[in-house]
């Protein structure tokens, strides 16, 4: 077995947010996106009918802008302003999310951190929205890094960025176990695209049998069933 260097993690474990760490967080996220479009462009936008699960906030905003009448060029031009406004609105409105934490999350994060894993976020949320959710859920202190919607075009790209950051910091080396935990097929695909192992949990909207069809390395109803040692010794 390779000797672990000082400061090196026993594993890097990356987590999705919505449906994985917290669920039923309320309408504030959707409303922030809708209201941001209205305030920046004057267009009446809605997220109704958009399957937001598994999507990046930037993609959701582009779909909403086009549905509200913006051309592709106009949507791309205003998108940075809309992203900024959406984050400004959400951080002011975010409710207390401590009761929205998914089963088993707190214990899993605590045990992984205590055993020497580095924990990070890979999420479709914009950065200030994602970190505010973690703060209001009481989970922020567990995470050292994050990759967010404004940083990449796809969830796979975000996972790659998170791994690259952990490598630059010297937390991981060749052979360090790398995991991505999520509730959506897109999380499994992002893990596969980057050579990470995938944990799929049924705490989101995707049924377990559909998640199983994508063949994650581990599949469970929620994180109460996860043995942290499995992630550290892979």
Per-residue pLDDT at 55? 86
pLDDT for the residue numbered 6:
43
pLDDT along the chain (234 residues), means of 10: 54 97 88 95 86 85 92 93 97 95 97 96 97 97 97 96 96 94 96 97 95 97 96 84
Q: What is the pLDDT of residue 1?
A: 30
**Quick one: pLDDT at residue 29?**
93
- Residue 25 token pair: 């967080």
All structural domains of the chain with their residue ranges: 11-24+100-232, 28-93
Beta strands in the chain (DSSP E): 11-15, 117-122, 145-147, 178-182, 197-201, 218-220
* CATH number of the structural domain 11-24+100-232: 3.40.50.1000
The domains spanning 11-24+100-232 and 28-93 adopt the same CATH topology = no
Q: What is the pLDDT of residue 24?
A: 81
Question: Among positive and negative, which fits the CA dihedral 140, 151, 220, 115?
Answer: negative
Sign of CA pseudo-dihedral 183, 187, 192, 195 = negative
The confidence score (pLDDT) of residue 7 equals 60
CA 64 – CA 34 distance, rounded (Å): 8
| pLDDT for the residue numbered 25 | 75
Please tell me the pTM assigned to this model: 0.93
Instruction: Give, in words, the CATH class of 28-93.
Output: mainly alpha
Give 31's Cβ-side CA count (13 Å radius): 11
């Amino acid at each position: 077995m390779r000797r672990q260097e000082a400061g090196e993690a026993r594993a890097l474990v990356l987590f999705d947010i919505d449906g994985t760490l917290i669920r039923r967080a309320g309408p504030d996220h959707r409303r922030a996106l809708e209201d941001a479009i209205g305030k920046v462009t004057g267009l009446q936008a809605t997220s109704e009918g958009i399957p937001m699960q598994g999507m990046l906030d930037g993609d959701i905003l582009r779909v909403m802008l086009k549905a509200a009448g913006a051309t592709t060029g106009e949507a791309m031009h205003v998108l940075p302003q809309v992203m900024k406004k959406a984050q400004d609105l959400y951080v002011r409105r975010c409710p207390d999310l401590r009761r929205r934490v998914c089963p088993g999350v707190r214990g899993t994060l605590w045990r992984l951190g205590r055993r020497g894993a580095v924990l990070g976020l890979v999420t479709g949320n914009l950065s200030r929205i994602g970190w505010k959710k973690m703060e209001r859920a009481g989970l922020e202190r567990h995470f050292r890094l994050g990759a967010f919607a404004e940083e990449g075009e796809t969830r796979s790209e975000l996972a790659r960025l998170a791994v690259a950051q952990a490598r630059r910091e010297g937390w991981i080396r060749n052979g360090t176990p790398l995991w991505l935990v999520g509730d959506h097929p897109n999380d499994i695909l992002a893990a596969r695209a980057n050579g990470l192992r995938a944990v799929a949990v049924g705490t989101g909207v995707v049924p377990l049998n559909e998640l199983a069809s994508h063949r994650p390395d581990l599949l469970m109803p929620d994180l109460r069933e996860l043995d942290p040692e499995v992630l550290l010794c892979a």
